[in-house]
Chains A and B, each alone.
Chain A
Amino acid sequence: MNRKLFIVSFVLIAALLASVSVFGGGSRETAPGEVVITWPTHWVGEMGAGPIIRELVDEFNALHAGEIRVVLEAHPEADAAEDVIRTRLAAGQPPDFFLFKLGPTTEVYYETGLLMDLTDELERDGWGATFDPGALAVSTINGEVRSLPIETALTPIWYNTRLFEEAGIDEFPTTIDEFWEAADRLLEIGVVPTSQMTGGANAWTSMLWYTHLVGSIGGPDVWDRAWDDPAFEEAAGIMKRMYQEYTTRDAIGAGPGESSAHFMNERTAMFVNGPWFVSNIRDNAPDVHAVTRLAPAPSAGDYHGHQVGWLLTSAAAAHTDDPARRDAVVQWFRFLTHPDNIKRQSLGRGSLMPVAFEIGPEDNVDPLQQQFIEAGNNATFLIDGIEAVMPVHVVQEFGQALSAMVLRDLPPSEFVALMRAAAE
């Protein structure tokens, strides 16, 4: 055997194998001493949070040129971004910085030791005091804050006043009987009353309708009695009727795109979503934006005037023993959650943020966002969305159980049984 040729071949093959680990791991430091913070996120693109986040990242990078650089890793679809984060955490390699929904399933992130502990940092310079205490309390588990509240969900009913007027409805219905009556009037003028959907990761719009109804029947503590309280069955019965008589043909299987498009194209008169959708409707359907009003759901039981609201988005970072990296990440956290920058994010996309900021007369607050603020202030109580109180696999089953009840014409008790089975 040619010894030289053998050695050369051996070196080449070793280099090939080594390259897998070297290039597979990626390069983090691009300049000597520069800390790169990679952020896989769906807050990208030209709509929603995308433009303002890109602006903030550019500003931060310019402020810390040569020292810290935040790099956005685009995952345009929210569910896909969440999957990426879960997978990386499961592999023990959390992203440098990321957003997630803190809930019963994701609480385990805290136990992994993979997230940066920010408890002590929050006590410095009054940083922690800038956050809403309630939201910060939700983010504190076993006395540790390993994620920061970034965005609050508040999801009233959106309705189109022009279509309501055309149908001869003066005010948004306050009882479920008035609601059915209004729905019939809308049908008479050829408008589908509600946008619904069973698709996506959590059947978002319908899940919110259902939660409104459950809250109205069972009250503020109804989730403590999940799935035993009769409210769950009763609300399911109302959902079934909405699907069978008062929603679009594509509601079963529809995703958030279809559901919101129906409202924005005035095919439907009612819809449920959060404030982050304000910029979307303002930019893509300004005529509808101008005639949209918000209301609490009609009362289906003893309670009325409540809203579905909870801590929707939290931000976390990978734990590190490198003081320089930790310092860089904390600086980015502080920059992103600084009241001035929170204000820009909130006004830029219409979102509600759990950090207080001043609004002056010179600030251009979107009228719809203003309604969101009022809806939050006027709410008789807040009830959590399902994903804040139920594990992921139960949330995933919601749309499937709902479609099973509608398509197989099952009694509402069967819907509850399916949800209970998923929860067990």
Chain B
Amino acid sequence: MKKNKTLVQKNTWWIILFTAPVFVLLLMFFVYPLISLTITSFMETAGFGSATFVGFGNFSRLFNNSVFRMSIRNNLIWAGSAAFLQVPLALLIALVLARQPAGWRFFRSAYFLPNVISLVALAMLWRAVYNPYYGILNGLLNLLGLDHLSRNWLGELETVLPALIISYQIYVGYFVIILYAGTLSISKSLYEAAEIDGANVFQQEIYISIPALRGFILSSVTLAVAFAFRQFETTFLMTAGGPANQSSVMALFMHRRMSAFQNGMASAVGILLVIIGIVVMKGLQVIFGMRSAAIEDAQQ
């Protein structure tokens, strides 16, 4: 302990020197904008002109706005789908890949591929998939004799959000890679021992892999939920929040307010986005913390 303290004291200037760039960048690109955002959220601005202090006026207008309430709801649905659909799907794929079935190297790359393709290109591709006239989805339904199920997927109130969320699952590969990396850290001997004890593959995954991947799963869920709260590009490119604002999300709502130079209201959305994000993240940590404790108790 004493040795460590001395080491820190001895290298104080080095520590300051090497952390300074990150600290300065953090101040410039996070702390300063956050302070500025907070101040602007209490102002009413008309374009680039003077700003008037309006207290919580912008926040109250937001909560009275049905499109904003719809946007919050949609962000929560996106977050839920990230935690309960995307990450479990990624976990399933990672566990299968970890068993190294035939062609696993190809599939490992294939799942990750969409993450390196332009988001705009993929959005256009999905728009084509969902097109009611020439889209492959309706084409497939017609081929199967299910033409009564064919829809204007991105143009109907009931289907637009599920269609967007499903299209977003193409990015599952990002979490597959994280979770697959996690599976590499699990000792093979655990599986061998379980096999000798008569555990089948399913039991091995449930009682060995998943508990061992707890940290990786938490990281993946945290990231996936964070991405869900930042959701903008897919919605903007595929539906622009429509139809009838049914697929609007908070970031898109904020972008629209900014386009109209309603900077005070846009900043208020930004602040709420940060607050809701922090609350959800903290909630996840608590839930996973409790779950971890419960598993540890059970193991003891």
Contacts and interface: CB of A to CB of B under 8 A. Distances in A.
A274 B114 CA distance: 38
Contacts of A10: 17
The main secondary structure of chain A at its interface with chain B is helix
Contacts of B260: 105, 391-393, 396
B13 A1 contact: yes
B242 A408 contact: no
A251 B154 CA distance: 10
A407 B245 CA distance: 12
Contact of A250 (B11, B67, B133, B258): B133
Nearest to A2: B14
B269 to A, nearest CB: 13
Contacts of B140: none
Interface string B1-23: 00000000011011001101100
Given A250-B131, A250-B132, A111 B48 contact: yes
Contacts of A109: 48
A250 B10 CA distance: 69
A178 B61 CA distance: 46
A408 B244 contact: yes
A253 B243 contact: yes
Contacts of B20: 13
A201 B240 CA distance: 8
A83 B232 CA distance: 15
B237 to A, nearest CB: 10
Interface string A225-266: 000000000000000000000001111111000100000000
Interface string B202-219: 000000000000000000
Contacts of B47: 105, 108, 111-112
Contact of B155 (A86, A112, A114, A250): A250
Interface stretch (A40-48, A127-135, A154-162, A397-405): A397-405
Nearest to B150: A249
Given A13-B17, A253-B242, A86 B49 contact: no
A25 to B, nearest CB: 14
Interface in B134-161: 152, 154-157, 160
B291 interface: no
Contacts of B133: 248-250
Contacts of A176: none
Contact of A404 (B24, B48, B244, B256): B244
A86 B259 contact: yes
Contacts of B243: 198, 252-253, 400, 403-404, 407
A112 B17 CA distance: 41
Nearest to B244: A404
B242 A199 contact: yes
Contacts of A111: 47-49
Given A250-B152, A252-B152, A393-B259, A6 B14 contact: yes
Interface string B228-263: 000000000001111111000000000011111111
A10 B21 CA distance: 10
A17 interface: yes
A392 B244 contact: no
A408 B157 contact: yes
* Closest 7 pairs between A and B when the two form their complex, measured CB to CB: A108-B47, A253-B155, A403-B243, A393-B260, A404-B244, A252-B155, A392-B260
12 contacts: A6-B13, A198-B242, A198-B243, A249-B132, A250-B152, A252-B156, A252-B242, A393-B259, A396-B259, A404-B244, A407-B243, A407-B244
